Amino acid sequence: MKHLYLFFLLITTLGFAQIPSNYYDSANGLTEYALKTELKNIISNGHIDQGYGSLYTGYVTTHTDTEYENDGSILLYYTENPNGTDPYGYNHGSNNCGNYSAEGDCYNREHLVPQSAFSSANPMRTDIHHVIPSDGYANGQRGSYPFGTVSSASWTSQNGSKRGPSNVSGYSGTVFEPIDEFKGDIARAVLYFAVRYEDTMDNYGAFDMFNGTENQALEDWAITMLLDWHYNIDPVDQQEIDRNNAAYNYQGNANPFVDHPEYANLIWNPTTDTEAPTDPINLVASNPSDNTIDLNWTASTDNIAVDSYDVYMNGMYSFNVVSNTAIVTGLLPDTNYCFTVKAKDAVGNESGFSNQSCETTTNNGSAGGTDCLTETFENLGTSSGSYSNVTWTGDDGGTWNATDARTDQTLNTRAITIRNGTLTLPTTSGGIGSLTVTTQRVFSGGSGTFNLNVNGTLVGTIAYGDTQQTITIPNINVENNVSIVIDGNSETSNRVMFDDLSYTCYSSLSLGEFNIETIELYPNPVNHNLTVELKSNIDTTIEIFNMLGKQIVKNIINKTSTLNLEALNTGIYIVKITQGNSTITKKLVKE
């Protein structure tokens, strides 16, 4: 079971050097073994062999548990229990093997492609994309057996990984089967190895999954099974994307099958996929608040795999999610919104639209009726005093990330404490007006600031000191989708608590208090003609926006005027009226 997170963009910004946006450009348009060779060239260039001992350091960023217990312990594919508390675990920097006689004694480095296959040569031996941390005893039970599915287990780990006779069609030996949660991660690591070391794959006959060739590299049965694990059993999720970014930061190259899952079929199963997913059905919009609406629908099916869903609001594309549920945030109170959904596969085939479902937000005055996002940090999970990457689900259901952070401090209530790291907020669609957050430095150090970035642009600084203070950054005023990152601690050794963070939606309703003369709009709701009645002859700008912020109408008038709105679609609109430096807005209903 993958834990799929709800956010508007499938991008998580971490404190790592990110994989360049043009990293795979030279592979565009290629298929089959030509694509495989070009990917080998891409991921070989820049790959730095950091050494065998450094892997333990690399695991701090690539294999820290930020998803299950979320306690900063080491993530172990063979023994992690994704559905409950682990009976044992390890912290980075301690309990390295050593000797072991049972699970829980120590952890070591596991080569998913066994060292015997490549005679323990570098850089294969030190490549963090396929050399992962493992409980030492479970590692020993896996040995050098190929991966597969087991007919009857001769040994089973505490999380259900097992060893035993194969029931994979085409292979009859002993295999090791990880649990479904990590089958895709392991499959992508083996596929990566076959690409990265293409030039020497014909020398690796000691591993039964390899076929002794450079091009195909893998046995037919292994290809069929690995592609099934990759696409169907355990597709890429956000946590694996984060681990891939961290691995790139550590050794300078990436796993292309994490960034582009479609490459695996293009290489080993190049039949063109022209079949679109089935239409999503049973879409229901429900559970409205002043600023949010929940969506859920019956998942689509596909001949290969459904990759994601595009969500449309009031007939226009709004955001993309990977699961069949979503929480729409940044909405206006007392406003009706209508939604439809399309499914997409990995190569971009799209389904038709789902049914339409509409819901009206409440008007209870929650969060002042204008907040796009509020966070108390009460859902941080296990309290930990060690510094690591932390991921949690926020108060509004979005995914939050912090790097170089700890979770054991309190300010007003629980707080996230960041040292030389970043705080990445969920993306919202309602823009941002102003942001407020409470800060305080803990332990030793002085005063300083963090940077506040909106969509990659620095918009202000957040101060902190040795006493609690609440900071407001006003008049940010960025429309539509916003991605917010707090980073750049001016004193990188200072440890700073953040609590009670919120920001208001962008809306001309919140641009300030003005003494603009009373202006009347009628009729409202309107069917054909809207009358704008002024009380003076001052030049006045009238703008009408749809609920996604797109300008539909703009006129300049200096007396009472009539606007023909017959062509507008039925729905809710915002009318912005400006005289000089003064602005007011009004809600308009088009029948």
Structure tokens at 22: 């043009």
Q: How far is CA 110 from CA 22, 77, 304, 327, in A?
A: 32, 10, 31, 39
List helix spans (H) across 252-366.
Answer: 256-259, 262-268
Rg from Cα positions in the chain: 27
Task: Determine which helix (DSSP H) or strand (DSSP E) holds 43, and give its type and residue range.
Answer: helix 32-44
The whole-angstrom separation of Cα 486 and Cα 462 is 9
Q: How far is CA 320 from CA 19, 162, 307, in A?
A: 21, 36, 10
As a whole number of angstroms, the distance between CA 12 and CA 332 comes to 26
pTM of the model: 0.51
Residue written as tokens 């998942």? 299
Residue 503 CB partners (closer than 8 Å, separation 6+): 371, 372, 373, 432, 433, 434, 435, 436, 476, 484
d(CA 209, CA 218): 6
Alpha-helical regions (H) of 147-278: 180-196, 220-228, 238-251, 256-259, 262-268
CA torsion sign for 434, 435, 440, 441 is: negative
| H or E element that contains 587 | strand 582-590
Distance from first CA to last CA of the chain, Å, rounded?
Answer: 46
Q: Which pair of tokens denotes residue 565?
A: 């709105």
**Beta strand spans in 306-447 (E):** 306-313, 316-321, 325-328, 336-345, 357-360, 371-375, 388-393, 399-406, 416-418, 423-424, 435-442
- Digit-by-digit pLDDT tens for the chain (591 residues) are 233 332 222 233 334 457 898 999 999 989 999 999 999 999 999 999 999 999 999 999 999 998 888 889 999 999 999 988 888 999 998 888 988 999 999 999 999 999 999 999 999 999 999 999 999 999 999 999 999 999 999 999 999 999 999 999 999 999 999 999 999 999 999 999 999 999 999 988 789 999 999 999 999 999 999 999 999 899 999 889 999 999 999 999 999 999 999 999 999 987 667 889 999 999 999 988 877 888 999 999 988 778 889 999 888 888 888 889 888 877 777 888 899 999 998 777 899 999 999 998 887 754 333 568 889 999 998 888 888 899 998 887 788 999 999 999 999 889 999 999 999 999 887 788 888 899 999 988 889 999 999 988 888 889 999 999 988 887 788 887 889 999 999 998 899 999 999 998 876 533 333 344 467 788 888 888 888 887 666 777 888 876 555 667 777 777 778 888 887 888 777 777 777 656 666 777 888
The domains located in the chain, with CATH, are 25-269 (no CATH), 281-361 (2.60.40.10), 371-504 (2.60.120.260), 516-590 (2.60.40.3080)
Residue 569, CA distances (Å) to 314, 529, 572, 574, 589 in order: 10, 14, 9, 13, 10
Contact 420, 28 (CB under 8 A): no
Question: What type of residue is 68?
Answer: Y
Q: What is the C-alpha to C-alpha distance for residues 400 and 308, in angstroms, rounded to an integer?
A: 20
Helix (H) or strand (E) run with residue 62 in it: helix 55-62
Contact of 497 with 486, CB cutoff 8 Å: no
8 A C-beta contact, residue 240 and residue 246? no
pLDDT in the model for residue 272: 65
pLDDT at res. 11:
31
Q: Alpha carbon of 379 to those of 286, 398, 417, 468, 565: distances in Å?
A: 23, 11, 14, 21, 47
**Which residues share a beta bridge with 497?**
417, 440
Yes or no: say if 335 and 345 are a contact pair by the CB < 8 Å rule. no
Whole-number pLDDT of residue 583: 62
Helices (H), ranges, 71-152: 136-142
